[in-house]
Structure 1
Amino acid sequence: MASRRFSPFLISTALAAGLALGSGPLAAETLTDALITAYQTSPLLEANRAALRNLDENVPQARANRRPQVGASISGQTGTTVEELDFGVAGIEASLTATLLLFDNGQTAAAVEAARNQVASGRADLKDVEQLVLFNAVQAYVDVRRDEEFVRLAVNDVDRLDETLSATQNRFDVGEVTRTDVSQSEARLAESRSQLAAARGQLEISREAYRAAVGVAPGNLERLPKLPDLPATLEEATAIGVQRNPQVVAAQFNERAAVYNFDRALAAKGPTISVGGSVGVERLRQNPQLDYDGSTFGQASISANLPLYTGGRNDSLVRQAQAVLDQRRFLVQDVARQVTQQVAAAWAQLQVAQASIVARRQQAEASRIAAEGVAEEARLGARSTLEVLDAVQENLQAEAQIVQALRDEYVASYALMRAMGLLTVEHLRLGIESYNPDVYFSKVQSGPRGGYDTSAVDRIRQRWER
């Protein structure tokens, strides 16, 4: 963090390390590699894809109401008396029935459209989760790179102070400085070692956060690529966010689904017309000594229904649907406000980070010149050892704050992309095939028989049956 303190070390080394946040070994793991791995291995994404497939099934279920319903049945009966315990079959009947809803005042059509809009909302929710997964990967990557730099700063600080202590001890042995100077160097070296331990601990925490976000432990992370292209103004960024942010899109489709559910509730107060038919065979016998008498039968029917009074249920359903619709309309407005705030906050964080980088670099340059001057004055006897240590420490802190500001700039840039709804596999051009929800939807929307996989259910069941 920006407030983190480091002890002094060689100024030239600090300048190189601080300004080169992205410097790393060749042939290392890139940010693109991390994003691809996170996208392809995220259990959170898989869970939400399964949730979307669950929503997909609502469409064929809603459409099924206007399709033929066919069933078969078979039954048998027996008769006996207390005097004659004969359990032989006295009769068998088998039949095939079919019904078809011809008219339901638009209930099924509204239900199908509501389900389709819920699917569209679910797809937007999945896109929002995709953005979350990718953003977490970016943040984890940058945090590891930052903390690696902090560790390098701390290691060089310890080395620098160890050399300073040796030099101060030698000067004390020849009487050039006092015991106080030696103790000050010892104290600063102990503090620097403590800061090194803290920096290493924070690096391990960031590495574990990377493992959680990406799915694998970080290797040698390559330098960061250039910042993504962003809009020139806050107004442009806000306009994109209000239009493309998945949260806004999901809220809009939820509102449309509520409109169709309201239509469905109104339609339930109207008439329905259906036709039906059945064919079957019947075999009967009067007593065990006689053969079965057989007959076949068939019938057709048409029926119409108009609810006249339902105890207030249908009216209540209409009012309930109206309340849900009002809720969804207000939620669209609320989500738009939230997205506007998210865009503005990310924009402000980006501006602060960029301004901080400029200021910190100026501070680092000024503190470097000051540290060199204090060191030269100390050689002439005009400055104390403590003043030299403090001057170099101020310079080192400025360099460390540059590293933090560069990290903040990068994270804020991707936070702005996320708020605009652009932090996606397609927009980032990761070069991989993204999940296509149309594949499963097209497979099930016509309601094919079967098409399910019970292997996962069987494995879970076996886990509990052991």
Structure 2
Amino acid sequence: MSETRTRLSTLAAALLAGAIAWSPPALAETLTDALIRAYQTSPLLDSNRASLRALDENIAQARSARRPQVQAGASAAGETDISDFPFDNSAQVALQASLLLFDSGESKAAIESARYGVAAGRASLVNVEQEVLFAAVTAYMDVIQALEFVRIAQNDVRVLGEQVDATNNRFEVGEVTRTDVSQTEARLAASRGNLVDATGNLEVARQAYLAAVGSLPGTLEPPPVLPQLPPSAAAAAQLAVQQNPAMVAARFNERAAVSDFDRARSASKLSITASSQVDYTWQRVSPNVAPNTRLTNDSYNLSASIDANLPLYSGGRNSSLIRQAQQVLEQRKFEVQDSGRQVTEQANNAWTQLEVARASIVANREQVVAAQIAYEGVSEEARLGARSTLDVLDADQERLQAEAEVVRARRNEYVAHYAVLRAMGLLTVEHLNLGIESYNPDIYFRQVQRAPVGGYDTSVVEKIRQRWEKP
């Protein structure tokens, strides 16, 4: 028993030392600090911002169909027959330009679809922002909860250690039996095991905090006052249906599908394109009448045309594209309905969990008071011989469990409160007033929506390529 007690004590001390070694002695970290750091360092947010910028380019690409298309071409040739060497050479350079005049609304529908796709992407980015901030809140509260559990376990080990000493003293004077001593020592060993478990859970919570926030937690301040919520679950669910970013994205995706359907229909209708071309041709010939005499000929040619195209039969491809677009539209319509159900469920479940946590806090605090009184009473009765040592240990265990339930309920209240905000689409940097500049998707959108030439940085690609090509 003594050897096991020593091993448990050593393990608990080692884990606890590792868990608290990171705590700085200076400024404490607040929940706002954690949220800001999570927002500013999240690779998931950076990834989705890049995805949104890629969506912005769809508008530039759709608009390019309405702009002049200019291209240059060149060709060279040489020919001869066996009786006439050397080669007769020719070269041609051409500059061609075309402009779409009419396409039955296909390009307009493509632009509208791209716009709605960008709007859906922005809503999805807000949803990711909410997930990042919610993960930070959860990690913050989990660390605080784990620290409280460690504190409770340490206190339990201290109290039971004192009880073991007291029980041994009473055994020596014949007031209790060896069974009482063994029961107390067994409970102390279990308490030390609980301390090891609580300390391990603290380390797990720290690593989850690192993943969510981007750094290991320091000394954490108690959580601040909770943000204000609507007066009822129904009001929260109504706001969720209106402004939850997943719901907003689903609506924009549906509108994009409508535009895609229009575009598919327009592809089978009339289109008119104007084009022009300038050619320069150079030839060098070797006439039979004058050996070793070379002649050259230059010519220029300018042509212009207006071409109309009306697909009559495409092997069923155009009709298939229209049917496909219609089924995608059906899919998007049902996704809107499903999103409405999901966000309503999310809001109602979060609200229910919040109410349960609040009620649990009240009930568990009352239980803590009652359990403390019971423990003190049983301890006094045991001192007078009216209660057994096991009764004292059980009363102490009930008191500790009540304290732990209060800690757990407070953590659940905070997490559920922010889950309600997330369901309503309000768990954002702006709504929480974090005091930092948030990402502005309009900056890149304004840079590329008119389809400018260039604007890319090949050095970034080369750095990534070199990283992967290193042996």
Matches of 2:83 and 2:325 in 1, distance apart? 63
Q: Per-residue CA shift, 1:271-318, capped at 9, x if unaligned?
A: 111111111221112127323211111011111111122222222211
Question: Which residue type is aligned with residue 281 of structure 1?
Answer: Y
2:179 maps to 180
2:35 maps to 35
Of 387, 394, 400 in structure 2, the residue corresponding to residue 396 of structure 1 is 400
Question: Which residue type is aligned with residue 57 of structure 1?
Answer: E
Bigger shift: residues 281-290 or 30-39: 281-290
2:114 maps to 115
Bigger relative contact order, structure 1 or 2 (CA pairs below 8 A, ≥6 apart) = 1
1:297 maps to 301
Give the match's secondary structure for 1:431. Answer: coil
1:410 aligns with 2:414: yes
- Residues 346 and 416 in structure 1, CA contact (< 8 A), matched pair in contact too: yes
- Residues 99 and 275 in structure 1, CA contact (< 8 A), matched pair in contact too: yes
Question: Which residue type is aligned with residue 331 of structure 2?
Answer: Q
Unpaired runs of 5+ in structure 2?
1-23, 287-291
Of 455, 458, 462 in structure 1, the residue corresponding to residue 459 of structure 2 is 455
Matches of 1:60 and 1:122 in 2, distance apart? 16
Bigger shift: residues 288-297 or 42-51: 288-297
Q: CA deviation at 1:86?
A: 2.8
Q: CA deviation at 1:456?
A: 2.4
Matches of 2:468 and 2:213 in 1, distance apart? 31
1:80 maps to 80
RMSD over aligned Cα, in angstroms? 1.5
- Residues 27 and 222 in structure 1, CA contact (< 8 A), matched pair in contact too: no
Unpaired runs of 5+ in structure 1?
1-23
Give the match's secondary structure for 1:190. Answer: helix
Matches of 1:226 and 1:109 in 2, distance apart? 50
Q: CA deviation at 1:464?
A: 3.5
Q: Give matches, 1:296-445, under 5 Å.
A: 296-445=300-449
TM-score, normalising length: structure 2: 0.91
Q: Give matches, 1:202-241, under 5 Å.
A: 202-241=201-240
Q: Per-residue CA shift, 1:250-276, capped at 9, x if unaligned?
A: 000000000001111111221111111
Matches of 2:382 and 2:32 in 1, distance apart? 49
Residue identity (%): 61
1:50 aligns with 2:50: yes
Give the match's secondary structure for 1:443. Answer: helix
Question: Which residue type is aligned with residue 170 of structure 1?
Answer: N
- Residues 90 and 286 in structure 1, CA contact (< 8 A), matched pair in contact too: yes
Question: Which residue type is aligned with residue 289 of structure 1?
Answer: T
The alpha-carbon distance between structure 1 residues 32 and 319, as it changes in their structure 2 partners (threshold 3 A), is same
Matches of 1:82 and 1:128 in 2, distance apart? 75
Q: Per-residue CA shift, 1:64-123, capped at 9, x if unaligned?
A: 111100011222221233455535x71121121100000000000000000110011011
Bigger shift: residues 77-86 or 132-141: 77-86
Count of matched residue pairs: 442
Q: CA deviation at 1:229?
A: 0.7
Question: Which residue type is aligned with residue 410 of structure 2?
Answer: L
Give the match's secondary structure for 2:295. Answer: coil
Matches of 1:232 and 1:427 in 2, distance apart? 18
Matches of 2:193 and 2:456 in 1, distance apart? 59
Matches of 2:469 and 2:156 in 1, distance apart? 59
Give the match's secondary structure for 2:97. Answer: strand
Matches of 1:464 and 1:382 in 2, distance apart? 76
Matches of 2:373 and 2:59 in 1, distance apart? 71
Give the match's secondary structure for 2:242. Answer: helix
Give the match's secondary structure for 1:434. Answer: coil
- Residues 155 and 196 in structure 1, CA contact (< 8 A), matched pair in contact too: yes
- Residues 121 and 251 in structure 1, CA contact (< 8 A), matched pair in contact too: yes
Give the match's secondary structure for 1:78. Answer: strand
